[in-house]
Amino acid sequence: MHCDYTVTAPEVSPSLTILRTAADLRAATQPFRDDGKLVGLVPTMGALHEGHLELVKRARRDCGLVIASLFVNPTQFGEGEDFDAYPRNEAEDIALFDAHGVDFVYAPDAAEMYPDGFGITVTVSGITEGLCGAARPGHFDGVTTVVSRLFEHCAPDVAYFGEKDYQQFKVVQRMVEELGMNIRIVGIPTVRERDGLALSSRNAYLDPGQRRAAPALYGTMFALAGRLHDGVDIAAQCAWGRQALLDAGFDSVDYFEICDADTLVPAIANADNLRIFAAARLGATRLIDNMPVDRPE
């Protein structure tokens, strides 16, 4: 899916309702639940782009009530990561949510999400161990803890996640299954720039030279998908991919792997249901991407 325009926020006062506490959100949404409306949730950290809005559009099509959350979650950032620098523009985000038909924006502060003495961490094991889980220790504990908290506060029937963060999507799906939460998790395909770069709030960090190099992340995965055939040496192909990224101007590669799309276990041979995953850095900016591999006949 490609995006060939930049989102700009309309200058109107929002007709949606912004809520800061779980109690207010529950009270405001109850009449809609009593009415039997399907409740959809789109969790975000703001700095919205067309990728986020694709989730909102799908939620709007599916659901009678759409809640979007805005919360830059400190617990999913590691030490030395970009929590303080992460782009924040609440007014613009709210205008965009409004223009796309969101009913309620839930924008709690950190004390509402993690009150003093809050002592629960939700950990999913197994599929959190590789890829971003290995590169960013503790990251997925932060994700599953905040998402379970958002689920508790928003009580959605359906929640929407981008395949851009595919491991996150699978981790949340696993959490919901194993905890028996009655919430359907829907994955939305990655929205890309015309040159293949996946839209990301972090793309704003890239200088012009880095921006020119960045589409190589997608380009290299795409090229690698074409190199897979039965009998291929997967480890050698991934090594080729890592080197191709360095040659294209990336400063380092966190991972470049081919894994089973459900278990995220690294593949040892060509098979059905594989996915390519890559994370690499341009200067201080870490970009991630992934794509499915259609197994050639």
Show the CA angle centred on residue 294, arms to residues 291 and 296, nearest 5°: 145
Q: Give the nearest distance from C-beta 42 to ligand AMP in angstroms.
A: 7
Are 276 and 244 spatial neighbours (Cβ–Cβ below 8 Å)? no
Q: Which of 183, 174, 178 is nearest to 156 (CA)?
A: 183
- Find the binding residues for ligand AMP in span 197-236 (CB under 6 A): 198-201
Catalytic residue among 49, 52, 139, 153: 52
Residues 106-165 binding ligand AMP (CB under 6 A) are 161-162, 164-165
By CB under 6 A, tell whether 285 contacts ligand AMP.
no
> Among 19, 131, 191, 225, which residue sits at the site for ligand AMP (rule: CB under 6 A)?
191
Q: Is residue 100 within the footprint of ligand AMP (CB under 6 A)? A: no
Q: What is the CA radius of gyration of the chain?
A: 19
Query: Do residues 58 and 161 make contact, with C-beta atoms less than 8 angstroms apart?
Result: no
Residues 30-89 binding ligand AMP (CB under 6 A) are 44-45, 51-52, 54-55
Q: How many whole angstroms separate alpha carbon 109 and alpha carbon 91?
A: 15
Contact call for residue 278 and ligand AMP (CB under 6 A): no
> Is 277 near ligand AMP (CB under 6 A)?
no
Is 49 in the active site? no
| Spatial CB neighbours of 179, under 8 Å, sequence gap ≥ 6 | 122, 148
Cα 83–84–87 angle (5° rounding)?
85
* Amino acid of residue 4: D
| 287 binding ligand AMP? (CB under 6 A) | no
Point out which residues bind ligand AMP (CB under 6 A). 44-45, 51-52, 54-55, 161-162, 164-165, 188, 190-191, 198-201
Q: Tell me the catalytic residues.
A: 52
